[in-house]
A = this chain, B = another copy of it.
């Protein structure tokens, strides 16, 4: 077991006093690599590329947090150190390779190193998120979990046409309602379960924290060229905040009807 005194990289919680139903989660908010992991053998360009984080996702999440009165939790460390949206035994948790890039600093990780990253990055993130969820539940609120991601416009050389993807895990209701609202009220090219889906093991956070408590949930994916500047992040938050609210109204209507 890792010594309990090892420095942890705790998630950041913003807008903690917010009283909206939605809890926003941003696992890939940061490309920071703490000193103890050096540069993971990557160039400066690689360490700023989409393999290291979801560019624009944190800015978008902050814009949504303000507009929805939603608490926001985000990880402070690059997903190349530990991807908080992956279980410790998934290949993507501490990836050897991401898209076309080898990650030299993740080659041949010892069990002790995998354990240390799990202890210092993954567990603090999920324990804090678990706390946020359960505190709302204990107060009598049924929170709605929304994870905020961005994806690269070109993947393995292939352009992606979709602009806004909404992914669900076991319960599709909220994701479907968001897609319907986005198609009705925005010009975004919107798809359900694109550019990937739960079958690609990308919904770990939803599986761990939303499904067991029966909470409505969705994973949002925005193409990162659409949120490439602070102004674009704000503009996208302005578009998506009402979409998330419309989806919420719809699932509340369904819950009453059902």
Contact = CB atoms under 8 A, between A and B. Distances in A.
Given A123-B130, A140-B111, A1 B88 contact: no
A36 interface: no
B134 A88 contact: yes
B135 A122 contact: no
Nearest to A93: B138
B87 A114 contact: no
A208 interface: yes
A42 to B, nearest CB: 23
A30 to B, nearest CB: 21
A55 B117 CA distance: 39
Interface string A112-131: 00110111001100110011
Contacts of A127: 127, 130-131
Given A126-B130, A130-B130, A134-B122, A114 B139 contact: yes
A21 interface: no
Contacts of A139: 111, 114-115
A213 interface: yes
Interface string A68-106: 000000000000000000011100000000000000000
- Please classify the interface of chain A as helix (H, G, I), strand (E, B), loop, or mixed, using the class held by over half of its residues: helix
B126 A138 contact: no
Chain A interface extent, by class: 20 to 34
Residue among A1, A88, A211 with the highest chain B CB neighbour number at 10 A:
A88
Contacts of A137: 87-89, 118
A207 interface: yes
A138 B1 contact: no
Contacts of A111: 138-140
B138 A88 contact: yes
Interface string A1-17: 10000000000000010
B140 A118 contact: no
Contacts of A123: 130-131, 134
A20 to B, nearest CB: 16
Interface of A: 1, 16, 87-89, 111, 114-115, 117-119, 122-123, 126-127, 130-131, 134-135, 137-140, 142, 204, 207-208, 211-213
14 contacts: A88-B138, A89-B140, A114-B139, A114-B140, A115-B138, A118-B135, A118-B138, A123-B131, A123-B134, A127-B127, A127-B130, A130-B130, A211-B212, A212-B212
